[in-house]
Amino acid sequence: MDVNALRARHPSIPYIAPFLVFLLLLAVQEYNPLPQKIEYPLRLVILGVTLWFCSRDVIELRSRHLIASASLGIVVFVIWVLPDALYPAYRQFWIFQNPLTGTVQSSLTHQTQNDAFLLGCRVVRAVFFVPIIEELFWRGWLMRWLISPRFDGIRLGTYNVQAFWITAVLFATEHGPYWDVGLIAGIAYNWWIVRTRSLGDCILAHAVTNGCLCGYVLATHRWEYWL
């Protein structure tokens, strides 16, 4: 199969394929018979290969606003953990934990929580892979596709009120019982792509947020942040 020809015929593939593979890996992880020592790095390899073959031509990693993007990432991280830090019972309200949004429960087993290699794989996925995969899909593709199905003719960061808010709300739903802070994060990252018109800066901001959250989880053992 000619991957370049496929990408040319279906320009959405580089933006959507890694996200779909990521969701598929999450969906089947409970049924994977492989030992975690093999499963965790294998996921990283699969994601890396998908990004390389499908998306390498559209990935932008160069940051034009390094300090500002990193600062935004830190602000989003603080907003993410602040409600639970100020009011420990905050996340117990039914509006956050219900049959629709799910429950605050970590997917990490006790074995994983005490295994440096497995935790390292989780950090690599959260800091290096997830920001690229999600920013390609949400800000790189969906925000433009909602403006026009011929999204590749729409400049990155083009503002459209419906596209902006639909993307932010859908991004929030991806985060289950943390949908409230997920919504704020979605608004922040959407605003940043409009402001900078740079996918690389959104990837950096997202990576800093996830990196700070990983550090917080490892330092405090608040594993519930890793759903």
Q: What pLDDT is attached to residue 5?
A: 65
Flag whether pLDDT at 106 surpasses 80. yes
Q: How far apart (Å, rounded) are the C-alpha atoms in residues 164 and 190?
A: 7
Within-domain flag for 54:
no
pLDDT tens-digit readout, 195-206:
999 999 999 999
pLDDT tens-digit readout, 31-51:
878 888 999 999 999 999 999
Flag whether pLDDT at 1 surpasses 60. no
Q: How far apart (Å, rounded) are the C-alpha atoms in residues 7 and 29?
A: 28
Assign 3-class secondary structure to 127-193: HHHHHHHHHHHHHHHHHHHCCCCCHHHCCCCCCCHHHHHHHHHHHHHCCHHHHHHHHHHHHHHHHHH
The boundaries of the domain holding residue 76 are 62-225
Amino acid at 88: P
How many structural domains comprise the chain?
1
* Residue 191 near residue 167 (C-beta atoms within 8 A): no
Within-domain flag for 7:
no
Amino acid at 51: L
Residue positions counted in the chain: 227
Look up residue 204 and give its two tokens: 């950096």
Within-domain flag for 53:
no
Q: How far apart (Å, rounded) are the C-alpha atoms in residues 162 and 76?
A: 23
Helix (H, G, I), strand (E, B) or coil at 122: helix
Mean pLDDT of 170-191: 97
Within-domain flag for 75:
yes
pTM: 0.94
| Mean of all residue pLDDT scores within the chain | 94
Q: How far apart (Å, rounded) are the C-alpha atoms in residues 34 and 145?
A: 37
Within-domain flag for 197:
yes
Amino acid at 23: L
Closest-CA residue to 204 (of 1, 59, 27): 59
Within-domain flag for 188:
yes
Within-domain flag for 161:
yes
DSSP state of 46: H
* Residue 128 near residue 47 (C-beta atoms within 8 A): no
Within-domain flag for 187:
yes
